[in-house]
């Protein structure tokens, strides 16, 4: 079975058990238990059981990267637009996000795809723990057409780790394969762990975005950023830890309308802030080594803070200081990484913080407690380390 891991391979780097390394290696064929390769125009023979590691760098593919970015970004933007337009009619009157966000998402995705597709990706395979047959099944799909190497004679490798191959011809070369095909284990294709630094939009949902009702949060679209570490395990499972922060402004026009405040009263309103550390567990799919899809459930804590609110008219000032609350939070996340360099995901997080707030003005003070359901959809993109 051909292995897509080494498609468009511009040359391998092979490390032997002794520590010797050879760069710009092209595999011609497998001859018995020896690997026939070409290095700098010289054909050589390497015993398969002497190979410890293979390193490859895949050619860049800008067009493919841009295509993936456009599709992924456009699809994410379309879903985000559906969510925003479905939250409340206020967004529809301000602009049709079902049309705007797919265009923005597609544009951003195209740029990310261009960045991801520009450099070639590098992959390493550790063969030290594999049997001879397993090594063969990995090496066989990497061989190239031997016609270009006809007539090339060989020279010796140091320490007799590879032997001369004289008068090799492709039509007389026997090719052996192991009895069964061997696919790379997940831990050979997927990195053991990766760190992502991300940023993007934070979209309020549900009661948090509502402008009417006792639990209306009056929150608007804001921004956020965060970091995530994911550890990939065999059998397509992984666990993660993450930290994200979201900042959502409060809708001043909705407050004025709800309280019946005239335009002569000035207002100063800050934003909601929501910091959420979480742990997660999920599954990943890596049919192509350059694109990894994943989904996970998460839970953690929500550290939330309400905005500072201040209304002024002449010498009269009414203020409501911000209040903070800590509560349980949960979330769901789906995303992908491209070339192990770019991360793109959508995450839904929710919690129900309870706030104790105090409003004061004109020599009077009023205190109260309320619960504010807080749901946020984060559409983030960033860099993977």
Q: Please write the tens of the pLDDT for every residue from 22-67.
A: 877 888 777 888 888 887 667 888 898 889 888 776 555 556 555 6
Q: Pick from 136, 157, 184: which residue ends a domain? A: 184
**Domain identity same for 170 and 302:** no
**Domain identity same for 55 and 68:** no
Closest CA to 299 of 346, 337, 347: 347
Q: Consecutive sets of 10 residues in the chain, 385 residues long: mean pLDDT of each?
A: 37 82 80 81 84 72 59 61 51 48 62 54 77 82 45 35 37 35 39 85 94 91 95 84 95 86 87 96 79 92 94 88 94 90 94 93 87 96 91
**Domain identity same for 270 and 211:** yes
Give how many domains the chain has, as a whole number. 3
Residue 239 structure tokens: 């666990």
So what's the pLDDT on residue 35?
A: 85
So what's the pLDDT on residue 148?
A: 36
**Domain identity same for 52 and 78:** no
- CA of 36: how far to CAs of 45, 140, 149, 311, in Å? 5, 11, 11, 80
So what's the pLDDT on residue 20?
A: 84
Residue 333 structure tokens: 């996340």
Kindly give the pairing relationship between strand 237-249 and strand 222-233: antiparallel
The count of other CB atoms within 10 Å of the CB of residue 220 is 22
Q: Find the domain containing 339 and state its range.
A: 189-384
Closest CA to 45 of 56, 61, 32, 62: 32
**Domain identity same for 373 and 296:** yes
Torsion of CA 323, 325, 331, 336, to 10 degrees: 60
Residue 352 structure tokens: 């129900």
Residue 367 structure tokens: 């205190």
So what's the pLDDT on residue 171?
A: 33
So what's the pLDDT on residue 5?
A: 34
200 with 105: CB under 8 angstroms?
A: no
So what's the pLDDT on residue 197?
A: 94
**Domain identity same for 175 and 83:** no
**Domain identity same for 200 and 289:** yes
**Domain identity same for 38 and 96:** no
Per residue in 197-245, pLDDT (tens digit) is 999 999 999 999 998 888 999 999 999 999 999 988 877 889 999 999 9
**Domain identity same for 268 and 350:** yes
So what's the pLDDT on residue 103?
A: 64
Residue 257 structure tokens: 């309308």
Residue 245 structure tokens: 């922060």
Domain of residue 195, CATH code: 2.40.160.20
So what's the pLDDT on residue 354?
A: 95
Residue 276 structure tokens: 């959420």
Q: Pick from 159, 184, 209: which residue ends a domain? A: 184
So what's the pLDDT on residue 374?
A: 97
The count of other CB atoms within 10 Å of the CB of residue 50 is 18
H or E element at residue 255: helix 252-259
Q: Pick from 72, 94, 117: which residue ends a domain? A: 117
**Angle, to 10 degrees, between the axis of helix 97-117 and the axis of helix 62-87?**
150
The Cα–Cα gap between 354 and 101 comes to: 32
So what's the pLDDT on residue 13?
A: 82
So what's the pLDDT on residue 255?
A: 87
So what's the pLDDT on residue 15?
A: 86
Closest CA to 113 of 59, 65, 161, 160: 65
**Domain identity same for 261 and 377:** yes
So what's the pLDDT on residue 81?
A: 59
**Domain identity same for 291 and 331:** yes
Residue 186 structure tokens: 């997940």
**Domain identity same for 264 and 339:** yes
To 5 degrees, how large is the angle CA 380–CA 383–CA 385? 135
So what's the pLDDT on residue 346?
A: 95
So what's the pLDDT on residue 371?
A: 95
């Amino acid at each position: 079975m051909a292995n897509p891991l080494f498609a468009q391979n511009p040359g391998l780097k092979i490390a032997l058990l002794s520590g010797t390394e050879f760069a710009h290696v092209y595999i011609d064929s497998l001859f018995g238990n020896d690997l026939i390769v070409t290095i700098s125009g010289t054909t050589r023979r390497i015993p398969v059981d002497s190979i410890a590691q293979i390193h490859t760098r895949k050619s860049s593919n800008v067009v493919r990267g841009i295509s993936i970015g456009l599709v992924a970004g456009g699809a994410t933007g379309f879903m985000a637009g559906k969510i925003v337009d479905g939250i409340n009619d206020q967004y529809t009157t301000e602009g049709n996000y079902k049309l705007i966000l797919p265009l923005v998402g597609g544009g951003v995705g195209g740029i990310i795809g261009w960045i991801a597709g520009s450099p070639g990706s590098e992959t390493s395979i550790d063969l030290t723990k594999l049997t001879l047959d397993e090594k063969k099944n990995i090496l066989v799909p990497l061989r190239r057409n031997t016609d270009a190497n006809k007539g090339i004679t060989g020279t010796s490798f140091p320490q007799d780790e590879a032997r001369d191959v004289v008068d090799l011809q492709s039509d007389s070369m026997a090719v052996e394969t192991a009895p069964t095909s061997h696919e790379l284990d997940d831990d050979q294709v997927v990195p053991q762990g990766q760190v992502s630094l991300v940023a993007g939009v934070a979209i309020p949902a549900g009661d948090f975005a509502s402008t009417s009702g006792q639990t209306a949060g009056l929150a608007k679209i804001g921004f956020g950023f965060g970091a995530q570490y994911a550890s990939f395990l065999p059998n397509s499972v992984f666990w993660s830890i993450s930290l994200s922060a979201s900042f959502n402004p409060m809708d001043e026009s909705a407050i004025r309308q709800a309280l019946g405040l005239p335009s002569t009263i000035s207002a100063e309103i800050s934003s909601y802030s929501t910091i959420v550390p979480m742990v997660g567990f999920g599954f990943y799919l890596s049919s192509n080594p350059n694109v990894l899809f994943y989904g996970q459930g998460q839970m953690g804590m929500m550290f939330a803070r309400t905005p500072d609110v201040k209304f002024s008219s002449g010498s009269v000032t009414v203020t409501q200081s911000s209040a903070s609350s800590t509560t349980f939070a949960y979330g769901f996340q789906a995303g992908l990484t491209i070339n192990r360099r770019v991360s793109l995901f959508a995450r839904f997080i929710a919690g129900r913080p309870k706030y104790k707030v105090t409003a004061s003005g004109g020599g009077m003070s009023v205190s109260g407690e309320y619960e504010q359901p807080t749901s946020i959809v984060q559409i983030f993109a960033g860099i993977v380390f």
